[in-house]
Amino acid sequence: MKVRTKTFWLPKRGNATEEYEDAAWPLDSVDCETDTFRCAVADGATEASFSRRWAQLLVKGFDDETEIAKLAEEWSSEIKGMELPWYAQEKAESGAFSTFSGLILKDGGTTGGSYSAKLLGDSCIFHMRGETLLESMPLTSYECFNNSPALLCSNLSNHADVEAMFSSKEGTWGNGDRFLLVTDAIAAWTFKRQLEHGDGFKKLLEIDSQEVLDKLCHDAREEHDEQGRPNMRNDDVTLLIVEVFS
């Protein structure tokens, strides 16, 4: 199968690039032929310490098929190697938190192939055929989003059963299908736009450059609904576009 990817991202309005706390793998564009392809996005929680690094480890570790326990050990080792004031060290010991959505594509011959997804929290994967949404994972509507998504902590002792926290989804893909991996702010905006104007997924598919993403997010953050809420929450935004061909 042939796979092409593009990744676009944007920090919160008012934040510097280094304050971006989402993560994606691959971050650079890919154009390759392969039997199996792995990709992922994650959204580090702003309220915790060093969540950006935890999100980065999760997406790269998914590609490398590294066990989560080893990723947690790597995160902990990096943090322990830093010189931090006592209050920052105390907060770091509580762990970092992140959502996660990972996708595995497998070649199935001349008519397409199969996919499997590993999901936790409110980062989403949209499976598109043309402009038609075939599947949305794990959330399926604007109403599903809230202020307390499930999060994976780098301090694994916070979880009774890490693997049980994830949901999974399996299906098939056809020639030319696209998978859009998105973090929560732009995912929620897409559903809201679809509900109110019927073109949310069309608008998402039209993003083909960083400039287009920048303008869409700027406009959506400035616009407000009848309740006075911004159409897009001021949060980090990540869009990973994966096109697959048999």
Q: Is the pTM of this model over 0.85?
A: yes
Residue carrying structure tokens 């993403």: 213
Domain ranges of the chain: 2-245
Q: What is the pLDDT of residue 226?
A: 86
What's the per-residue H, E or C state across the chain?
Answer: CEEEEEEEEECCCCCCHHHCCEEEECCCCEEEECCEEEEEEEEECCCCCCHHHHHHHHHHHHHHCCCHHHHHHHHHHHHHCCCCCHHHHHHHCCCCEEEEEEEEEEECCCCCEEEEEEEECCCEEEEEECCEEEEEECCCCHHHCCCCCCCEECCHHHCCCCHHHCEEEEEEECCCCEEEEECHHHHHHHHHHHHHHCCHHHHHHCCCCHHHHHHHHHHHHHCECCCCCECCCCCCEEEEEEEEEC
Tens of pLDDT, residue by residue over 160-207, are 999 999 999 999 999 999 999 999 999 999 999 999 999 999 999 999
Six token digits for residue 218:
């700027």
Q: What is the pLDDT of residue 35?
A: 97
The pLDDT score that the predictor gives to residue 123 is: 98
Q: What is the mean pLDDT of the chain?
A: 94
CA distance 149 to 24: 19
Top-level CATH class of 2-245? alpha beta
| Percent of the chain at pLDDT exceeding 90 | 87
Q: What is the pLDDT of residues 204-226, one digit of tens each?
A: 999 999 999 999 999 999 999 88
Render pLDDT for 53-106 as a digit per residue (tens, 0 to 9): 999 999 999 999 999 999 999 999 988 877 766 566 666 678 899 999 999 999
pLDDT score at 11: 97
